[in-house]
Amino acid sequence: MKANYFQFVLLFIALSGITFPQPLTERYKELGEVFVLQLASAPFPHPLRMNGHSYKNETFSMQEHYADSSVAIFIPKGFQPSSKTDVVIYFHGWRNTIDSALAQFKLIEQFSESMINAIFVFPEGPKNSPDSFAGKLEEKEGLHNLLDEVTKFLLSKRIITTADIGNIIIAGHSGAYRAIAFSVAQGGYTKNISDVILFDALYAETDKFVDWCKRFNGRFITIYTDNGGTKGEAETMMHELDSLAIQYRKMEESEQTLEDLVKNRLIFIHTDLAHEEVISARKQFYNYLKASKLNRRKN
């Protein structure tokens, strides 16, 4: 009886077309290799969220939303180790996860297509929570501690041959601005950051971004929408750069070219797209990575 019932369930699933999501370690195997680690240096858990988080009469418990210490690492096919390892680190926004953000925004697909010879690192943030708190990444040397654990793992797997970090691209969407801002300001690798990319994410901590633009020569890109809540802060930052006589390029996304992304250091891109469309609707992540100065894979 049990065997017949089991066979019936399998037949029902097959006929109904129901599919189950593949684990991350399997989902992208045609593009490269994914590892999902539990790291002590991951943003969470963190003492400031041991009692969870409340937002607009909703409570988000520690166990469901702040206990996951996952860090996803993607090694693209054709990656070649060198004397220093370049890294792209990405942070998700509100009410999202590593898994859902990768699927929704085609992050690994865009990263892989860019052909940059780098490691993709994606730590879990506040999981399915409306919260920008970045946990341990808001602490001094937080980014350094995270990448130190990541490189130790990659060395143990003989994927890289040195613990030395080269260029770092930091990118994120929406509420990820805090993780990016604190990583830029005091993460321990400020001099290594070659690119900061904000996908409709310039809500606050603008002084940290202005200071980085003033003191370092890395590239800063922010794409902002009319209704995502970031337009005013983008304009504020441009006014601040004007007062400091720091040049930047402001443009409409509809007029943007690859040459614009390559030749300009500080770029403010106004788009007609919606908040959730600024990462992948026009393959923005791919374009911004492609325009970076990081070395390319040969195949």
For residue 192, pLDDT beyond 90: yes
Q: Is 50 exceeded by the pLDDT of residue 239?
A: yes
How far does the chain reach from its first CA to its final CA, in angstroms? 53
pLDDT bucket at 210, cuts 50 / 70 / 90: very high
Per-residue pLDDT at 19: 46
- Write down the pLDDT at residue 16: 52
2, part of any domain: no
**11 occurs within a structural domain:** no
**Could you count the other beta carbons within 10 Å of the beta carbon of residue 51?**
11
Lowest-confidence region among 10-14, 202-206, 213-217, 277-281: 10-14
CA neighbours closer than 13 Å in the CB half-sphere of residue 223: 27
Query: What is residue 13's predicted lDDT score, i.e. its pLDDT?
Result: 43
Query: Do the domain assignments include residue 252?
Result: yes
Report yes or no on 150 lying in a domain.
yes
- DSSP letters, 93-136, are -TTB-HHHHHHHHTHHHHHHHHTB--EEEEE--SBTSS----GG
Answer whether residue 51 is part of any domain.
yes
Q: What is the dihedral of CA 69, 70, 75, 76, to 10 degrees?
A: -140
Q: From CA 229, how far away is CA 274, in angstroms rounded?
A: 11
Q: At residue 76, what are phi and psi to the nearest 5 degrees?
A: -70, 150
In a domain, 295, yes or no: no
Distance CA 53, CA 236 (A): 30
pLDDT at 130 over 60: yes
* Across 145-149, average pLDDT: 98
In a domain, residue 262? The reply is yes
State whether residue 165 is helix, strand or coil. Answer: strand
* Domain residue limits at 98: 24-290
Q: What is the mean pLDDT of the chain?
A: 93
Average pLDDT over residues 60-66: 97
Is the residue at 118 inside a domain? yes
Provide the percentage of residues in the chain whose pLDDT is more than 90.
Answer: 91
How many separate domains does the chain show? 1
The pTM of the full predicted model, rounded to 2 decimals, is 0.91
Q: What is the pLDDT of residue 11?
A: 56
- Reading the block at residue 296, the tokens are 């390319």
CATH of residue 277's domain is: 3.40.50.1820
Q: Report yes or no: 148 and 196 within 8 Å, Cβ to Cβ.
A: no
Q: Give yes or no for residue 21 having a pLDDT over 90.
A: no
Confidence at residue 298, expressed as pLDDT on a 0 to 100 scale: 84
Amino acid in position 38: Q
Give 248-274 pLDDT, tens digit per residue: 999 999 999 999 999 999 999 999 999
